[in-house]
């Protein structure tokens, strides 16, 4: 069997429901075991990482959002990204329940499209963006700009101009050089609310390249060397800037609560110094995101309910000791909302034995998911749409690109008769895949398909060869 041509993509039409449609997913906090939710059968431990609506079907197929994955692959072609709308909404609601009286901002860098912006807005979340592109897409979708925060370590003039023109709620100051540039760009008579991104000197995160709370990386202003205090003093001298709080982001894929509690203590110390030196009380404290999730069975995930309870208690205790009012807490989850809601579908193109290694090559790879090449992350692919009686064997699932590092999953067990044309589905694929995708080897980026209540609709179409060629205008 060889892969056939990609199917034409359409949107909005219903697809056949499975015999036993998935229940609406429960609203257990992110970080709790998905298998405890009604949508994921607790008797099947292999589905613990999948969206809560996932149910097994005959012929070893799976349905997500009431839609069989094999039908999605036939209809939309592969590679294709599937996003469970109910799972996104469930995770948004769970954050709001775990963090009452907290401003929850969805981190758009994890994954953003018009539908995603619409869903998180409807669920009551704000938005955290890093560029004029993310900002413009959100606002043109109808997202209220006052509920948007813009940050980034090197904002361009276009980024700042768009933020001021559209009226974003807050801009995060990341360097002293940005203060004068932003103040000069604010129109006469205007006043822009700003947060100051500080570096608390805490090492946390799943990989060295995604740890941003230490003094040896590009983000923020150090507390230890006085840069943060100096920046605050300079901002106070700018009448067109209104400092409203501190911002920090420790890193990504953090799975323990302790680093956040350390950050709270250090930021309260800075709030107290600002109050003593300048006589002002900053009313907001943004702890960023970085909440870790499991990508393979047995991996840890951050307990969001525990995080919420301990952070709020530490904040209340620390502020009481410092004689400060408790600031409004802001958090920025991205991966923990989008990641577990996504599934990516690939077709097997080749199976090859090379020495002691058996390679299974699929029709996607590092152009649609660079995380394995960047951070050594590995996934748990699963054969769907064909029942196999063959014993599992250890294989390495690789992409189609001309890089030895284009590896999706090392030493995973798949049926020994895996062959070209088979369909592989990979869970936990909703965050930092397509948002970091590239045009490497001029392979077009895959589509994004939303599933909900037995229906599938196209959110983002596949990037075609015509799209690629239209950008190349010179000879």
Q: What is the distance of C-alpha 249 from the center of its chain? A: 14
78: its two tokens: 């592969």
Burial class (CB in 10 A: 0-12, 13-18, 19+), 289: buried
Q: Three-class SS of residue 391?
A: coil
Distance CA 262, CA 254 (A): 13
Q: Of 3, 9, 5, which is closest to residue 447 (Cα–Cα)?
A: 9
Distance CA 451, CA 282 (A): 43
The answer to whether the CB of 355 falls within 8 A of the CB of 309 is no
Distance CA 119, CA 124 (A): 9
Give the pairing of strands 392-398 and 148-150: unpaired
Q: Of 124, 148, 125, which is closest to residue 136 (Cα–Cα)?
A: 148
Residues annotated within the binding site for substrate are: 335, 371, 375, 403, 432
The answer to whether 319 is a known catalytic residue is: no
The answer to whether the CB of 404 falls within 8 A of the CB of 359 is no
Beta bridge partners of 242: 193
The answer to whether the CB of 293 falls within 8 A of the CB of 335 is yes
3-state secondary structure 404-443: CCCEEEEEEEEECCCCCCCEEEEECCCCCCHHHCCCHHHC
Catalytic residue among 92, 130, 319, 402: 402
11: its two tokens: 């949107």
Distance CA 310, CA 379 (A): 31
Describe the strand order of the beta sheet including 62-64 as a list of residue ranges.
Answer: 55-56, 62-64, 67-68
Which residues make Cβ contacts (< 8 Å) with residue 133, sequence separation at least 6?
A: none
The answer to whether the CB of 291 falls within 8 A of the CB of 31 is yes
Q: What is the distance of C-alpha 400 from the center of its chain? A: 24
Beta strands in 158-229, from DSSP E residues, in sequence order:
170-173, 192-199, 221-222
Q: Which residue intervals of 293-447 are DSSP H helices?
A: 304-322, 335-338, 371-375
Burial class (CB in 10 A: 0-12, 13-18, 19+), 140: exposed
6: its two tokens: 């990609």
Catalytic residue annotation: 402
């Amino acid at each position: 069997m060889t892969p056939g041509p990609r199917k034409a993509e359409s949107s909005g039409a219903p697809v056949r429901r499975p015999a036993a449609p998935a229940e609406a997913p429960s609203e257990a906090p992110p970080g709790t075991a998905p298998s405890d939710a009604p949508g994921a059968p607790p008797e099947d431990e292999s589905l613990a990482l999948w969206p809560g609506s996932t149910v097994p079907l005959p012929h070893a197929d799976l349905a997500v959002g009431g839609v069989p994955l094999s039908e999605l692959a036939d209809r939309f072609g592969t590679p294709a990204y599937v996003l469970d709308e109910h799972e996104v909404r469930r995770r948004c609601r769970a954050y709001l329940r775990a963090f009452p009286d907290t401003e929850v901002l969805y981190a758009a860098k994890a994954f953003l499209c018009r539908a995603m912006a619409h869903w998180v807005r409807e669920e009551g979340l704000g938005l955290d963006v890093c560029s004029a592109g993310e900002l413009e897409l959100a606002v043109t979708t109808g997202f209220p700009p006052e509920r948007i925060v813009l940050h980034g370590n090197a904002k361009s003039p276009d980024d700042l101009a768009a933020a001021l023109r559209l009226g974003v709620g807050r801009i995060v100051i990341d360097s002293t050089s940005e203060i004068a540039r932003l103040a000069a760009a604010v129109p006469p008579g205007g006043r822009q609310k700003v947060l100051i991104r500080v570096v608390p000197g805490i090492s946390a995160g799943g990989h060295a390249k995604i740890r941003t709370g230490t003094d040896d990386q590009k983000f923020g202003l150090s507390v230890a060397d006085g840069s943060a205090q100096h920046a605050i003093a300079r901002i106070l001298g700018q009448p067109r800037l209104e400092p409203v709080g501190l911002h920090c982001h420790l890193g990504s894929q953090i799975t323990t609560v302790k680093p956040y509690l350390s950050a709270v203590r250090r930021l309260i110390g800075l709030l107290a110094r600002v109050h003593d030196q300048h006589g002002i009380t900053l009313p907001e404290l943004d702890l960023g995101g970085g909440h870790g999730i499991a990508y393979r069975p047995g991996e840890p995930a951050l307990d969001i309910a525990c995080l919420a309870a301990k952070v709020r208690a530490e904040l209340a205790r620390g502020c009481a000791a410092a004689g400060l009012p408790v600031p409004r807490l802001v958090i920025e989850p991205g991966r923990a909302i989008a990641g577990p809601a996504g599934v990516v579908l690939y077709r097997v193109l080749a199976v090859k034995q090379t020495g002691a290694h058996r390679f299974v090559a699929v029709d996607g790879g590092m152009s649609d998911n660079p995380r394995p090449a960047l951070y050594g992350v590995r996934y748990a692919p699963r054969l769907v749409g064909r029942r196999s009686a063959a014993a599992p064997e250890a294989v390495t699932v690789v992409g189609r690109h001309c890089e030895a590092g284009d590896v999706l999953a090392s030493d995973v067990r798949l049926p020994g008769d895996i062959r070209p044309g088979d369909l592989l589905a990979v869970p936990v694929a909703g965050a930092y895949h397509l948002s970091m995708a590239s045009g490497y080897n001029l392979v077009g980026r895959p589509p994004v398909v939303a599933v909900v209540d037995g229906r599938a609709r196209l959110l983002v179409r596949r990037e075609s060869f015509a799209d690629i060629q239209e950008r190349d205008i010179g000879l």
